[in-house]
Amino acid sequence: MRFIFTLLLLNVCLIATAQVSKTEKKIVTSVDAHHHEALKLWEEVVNINSGSMNFDGVKKVGMIFKAKLDALGFETKWIDGKEWGRSGHLVAEHRGKGKTMLLIGHLDTVFELASPFQQFKTVNDSTVSGPGVGDMKGGDVIIVQAMQALKESGALKDMNIIIVMTGDEELSGKPLSLARRDLIEAAKKADIAIGFEDGDGNPKTAVVARRSSSGWQLNVEGVPAHSSQVFTKDIGAGAIYETARIVNGFYEALSKEENLTFNPGMILGGTSVDHDRDMDGGSAYGKSNIVAKNAVVTGDIRAISPEQLKMTQETMTKIVAEHRPQTKAEITFGEGYPPLAPVQGNYDLLARFSKVSLDLGFGEVRAVNPRDAGAADISFTAPYVEMAMDGLGPGSAGGHTVNETADPRTIAIQAKRAAVLMYRLSQEKISTERKK
């Protein structure tokens, strides 16, 4: 109670002289009034295992958030994920007027039922631990707390808001076109997308650009023979030499491209190769005195824009086509998460968010380096919205490990900043040149 009283007193002092309207002050007051309630909700959902493949757990967490949003006047629905082999998604909509804002969360974590990391624990006033406290059940709680504050301040009644909480962000269902269909349809209705992932874990930053994440597979074939015949006209270089040429060619051609990475994560080569696609591993058999017949390499690409991704794929394809003697090779590219390019609209949204933060007394917010932010669901909105920004989750550290922690004080801070930002955005006029 001492901590909550201190927080309330500090916030009153901070906003006393800031450029904050009467409605915005009501938003701040509401967040503070329900802070303890939000922390209890956080603990409740973290204590429910919702690893991506625990379908019942994911839906159970979804139903808790569904009930909260139902009570705030949202029209909610659970979308079953059988089509893409996962639990499903929660979609909620509040119809009003003005700009349409899409808020994005996810219900699943990387911690499946077999994980030893299952419980929410309070370490001290500034630290809690538990599976998904940061990534991203903390962000989901912030969404609910912000909506509650907008409702109690009277601002929500006139606002257009769509909330999508996916159930498979950590391990996407397939095909991805179905798994992200409902998110994309929501984005087509929206003007602005805001994600509540924890970004780089620092509330002083927000994410205006995310790199793509997609896979590639290289298959190489050579002529098997006794090693004494390697490099001859009829035998040539063999599969492993050709594979080495190609992978090194990728490095030589592309390694200096800013914000681009392309990592070969697995390689098999020899007389015979047994590649397990599902596990992205396998086995290979060969001898030092036999020219290798086959090789397989798999890897990923992370690009900052659709143009950079296309250029990378074209360059890799060209390098593959320049075969060494008596070898054949083919590269294929899989579907994946698209990039969220650093367009001007995203920086404009960040500027608005930073102004809100300054007005509330929480300081400036700057952009995260895209190399420090992985792929996320908000990237699917990029072709459809005027502005997008992610990273409005709590302060956190150790994501995706049993050392995951978050700062409970930042739940209220982020809820206040998000709610006031959305209120101000709702007061802006819709662009007459919006394109879909």
- Phi first, then psi: give them for residue 143, nearest 5 degrees: -60, -50
What is the arithmetic mean of pLDDT over 385-396? 98
pLDDT band at 2 (very low <50, low <70, confident <90, very high): very low
**pLDDT tens digits, residue range 254-266?**
999 999 999 999 9
What is the arithmetic mean of pLDDT over 397-415? 97
In this predicted structure, what is the pLDDT of residue 431? Answer: 56
Q: Are 196 and 392 in contact (CB under 8 A)?
A: yes
Q: Are 242 and 323 in contact (CB under 8 A)?
A: yes
Write down the pTM of the prediction.
Answer: 0.89
Q: Are 98 and 427 in contact (CB under 8 A)?
A: yes
Residue 435 pLDDT exceeds 90: no
Q: Are 123 and 129 in contact (CB under 8 A)?
A: yes
What is the arithmetic mean of pLDDT over 54-74? 98
Tokens of 333: 């590219």
Q: Between these two residues, 434 and 62, which has the higher pLDDT value?
A: 62
What is the arithmetic mean of pLDDT over 15-36? 88
pLDDT band at 13 (very low <50, low <70, confident <90, very high): very low
pLDDT band at 280 (very low <50, low <70, confident <90, very high): confident
What letter does residue 149 receive in the DSSP assignment? H
Residue 212 pLDDT exceeds 90: yes
What is the arithmetic mean of pLDDT over 148-159? 97
In this predicted structure, what is the pLDDT of residue 16? Answer: 43
Count, in order, helices (H) and strands (E) of the chain: 11, 18
Residue 78 pLDDT exceeds 90: yes
Domains of the chain in start order, with CATH, are 2-210+340-426 (3.40.630.10), 213-337 (3.30.70.360)
Measured CA to CA, the distance from residue 425 to residue 359 in angstroms comes to 15
